[in-house]
Structure 1
């Protein structure tokens, strides 16, 4: 079938809106008509060479839509089902999946780095027959998506996909970091560096968990204000005051139980080490350039400081994505407030430029 998609042909290049040929789903794959897609910072990282991916590529992985067709072997999805795309295919057969760690599924690497389907082939081609890759095996910057059936998480019929598409990546990554990775407990103190879509989701996860001190750190006033409206109790502009010192002051000189980094910079990752209390934990959610290292003073180890990575919110998508949908419906998880604007596919370059300037929380691409 022919579809319209935003194609990226190289690092730091503008998107090209092209007509592509999308092959039908193969075994254990599904075809999904895209309703909406968030623009995630990971998409920005690929576009600017921070994360390496093959070109040309259809970016977008924070997508949601309606199942159009299923390939052979798919038994738990049918045409008409509403789904949210997950980052992991949850193959169920690898060691990590068998251990209940689907956020580390072996198939996830192929989707993230090779940007193919699990069989190593692509489904998108240009009119001339050139292969076009799809980020995370999804490619939600297109009118239709083919993805592994395990990546398509069924949600209730009354789910508003134009809002809950954010759950596919940023919300699950952030809220899951607080609720799953850190397992924040009522009464604990937390700090979050970076108040984009993921950071705001961490803040909400901390609030839902019952954290009583939630400190948001971001230089952008609009993001600090949004963080306060979503559950932060305090907000710090790191360009105007020493963020680590202020965190210690706000916690009686002790520090927080958990300090989360959601920017993807090694400097701010190291800064979380200065914010935690004895036996506290730094939770690194942001993704820095993979050739960089984080340096931390060893003295903190004597106070049992810990540093913990968080991948996709340590989530089990079939359990956590419907859970987060229900938290949205109940009003506990606020998503409407995180959407800065809804745009058409043709406006994608402008949205990426705004993201590069740190403006807004999330832009959502809408499809007719």
Structure 2
């Protein structure tokens, strides 16, 4: 079945057409249920929105978190938040995006709060409702309906496990007409989170001693960002040997198996007893985070991005913190997508970030298998094609 928009715009992309879109989407009706690819109705873009025909969408662990019931997103609903595609319509107030543009779609932010105005949109005052919990546009209306009933939608402002999405214009980043969107789709969340957490937050200088704990798509992107900064030590830690081998190819100087009792001692040995100047934990495991915190040098910094269930706590001994150690959480790599994503695209294009080594493509009708392969480590980064 071919996914098409209903008539309502000409070849030049007539602005502000009120015609809705008849498309299809993978609908999740209950936690841990199967996805059902169904015909859905998508509202037309408003004056500050664009309609994007989805070419590809990466599968992220946050999608898996909703599927598993760990995030209270309203169901039945449509997930997906690493969308990439081609703009088909633009709203009347949109001036920097045109029909025909190839775009990557990232998270939603208001653009008006203190964090957004300070170039930290990942900490938007309305981030949680816009991206994770709301299931609707900011005004409370869902742009998606099936059989006349509203669906949970606008996940990360997208819900891109679908043939089309309507998103705020500020969420899209225009990329070159010749790029492979099925390769670049994961940049909108997972890759940007890993890369940005090192590039923007840890900000390591040459000679740094770093560790990346967990080397899925987020962690491997962090390894690449760290390697570009030429650290003295860059340790990758993971349970999967093949991922550790890839981390070494991407610039890690050492690789250690996770789940061992003497990880702290091994890190101390690698750093010559000096400790880590920085660490990035993607696992969401409080024991892993505590080990990394203990392995820090004086004034060292641990950045965590894993999202375990609410109430999960990291046990912290206050005394060592008095040596200037920092424990910091990060969302979306503290990135402004329109600034950082073009830099990451350039690294993909010159081969520094070999996303082709991480990506495996699936049809939208194989979304259940994509989730299962990701959960069991058979695929680092599934990418779904509608």
Secondary structure at the counterpart of residue 132 of structure 1: coil
Q: TM-score, normalised by structure 2?
A: 0.91
Q: 2 CA distance for matches of 1:70 and 1:326?
A: 26
* 1:151 to partner: Cα distance: 0.8
* 1:156 to partner: Cα distance: 2.2
Task: Specify the alignment match of 1:318 in structure 2.
Answer: 338
Contact kept? 1:159, 1:325, Cα under 8 Å: no
Aligned equivalent of 2:207, options 170, 182, 187: 187
1:151 and 2:151 aligned: no
Aligned equivalent of 2:241, options 204, 221, 240: 221
Secondary structure at the counterpart of residue 27 of structure 2: strand
Unpaired runs of at least 5, structure 1: none
Secondary structure at the counterpart of residue 273 of structure 1: helix
Give the paired residue count. Answer: 365
Secondary structure at the counterpart of residue 303 of structure 1: coil
* 1:14 to partner: Cα distance: 1.4
Contact kept? 1:118, 1:148, Cα under 8 Å: no
* Deviation beyond 4 Å, 4+ runs, structure 1: none
Task: Specify the alignment match of 2:325 in structure 1.
Answer: 305
Aligned equivalent of 2:146, options 92, 112, 126: 126
1:100 and 2:119 aligned: yes
Contact kept? 2:81, 2:155, Cα under 8 Å: yes
Contact kept? 1:56, 1:133, Cα under 8 Å: no
Deviation per CA, 1:53-95: give whole Å up to 9, x if none: 1111111101100101112311111110111111133x33211
RMSD of aligned residue pairs (Cα, Å): 1.5
Unpaired runs of at least 5, structure 2: 1-20
* 1:336 to partner: Cα distance: 1.3
Secondary structure at the counterpart of residue 106 of structure 1: coil
* 1:332 to partner: Cα distance: 2.2
Q: 2 CA distance for matches of 1:211 and 1:9?
A: 46
Q: 1 CA distance for matches of 2:52 and 2:216?
A: 28
Contact kept? 1:9, 1:15, Cα under 8 Å: yes
Map 1:136-175; keep pairs closer than 5 Å. 136-175=156-195
Secondary structure at the counterpart of residue 152 of structure 2: strand
Secondary structure at the counterpart of residue 65 of structure 1: strand
Task: Specify the alignment match of 2:274 in structure 1.
Answer: 254
Deviation per CA, 1:242-293: give whole Å up to 9, x if none: 2221111110012111111101222222222122111111111111212222
Task: Specify the alignment match of 1:61 in structure 2.
Answer: 81
Q: 2 CA distance for matches of 1:131 and 1:352?
A: 21
Map 1:65-76; keep pairs closer than 5 Å. 65-76=85-96
* 1:40 to partner: Cα distance: 0.5
Aligned equivalent of 2:263, options 227, 243, 262: 243
Aligned equivalent of 1:328, options 338, 348, 352: 348
Task: Specify the alignment match of 1:20 in structure 2.
Answer: 40
Q: 1 CA distance for matches of 2:315 and 2:118?
A: 31
Q: 2 CA distance for matches of 1:364 and 1:34?
A: 12
Q: TM-score, normalised by structure 1?
A: 0.95
Deviation per CA, 1:89-117: give whole Å up to 9, x if none: 3x332111111212212343222220322
Contact kept? 1:217, 1:243, Cα under 8 Å: no
Q: 2 CA distance for matches of 1:88 and 1:322?
A: 18
Task: Specify the alignment match of 1:363 in structure 2.
Answer: 382
* 1:240 to partner: Cα distance: 4.7
When Rg is computed on C-alpha atoms for both structures, the one with the higher figure is: 2
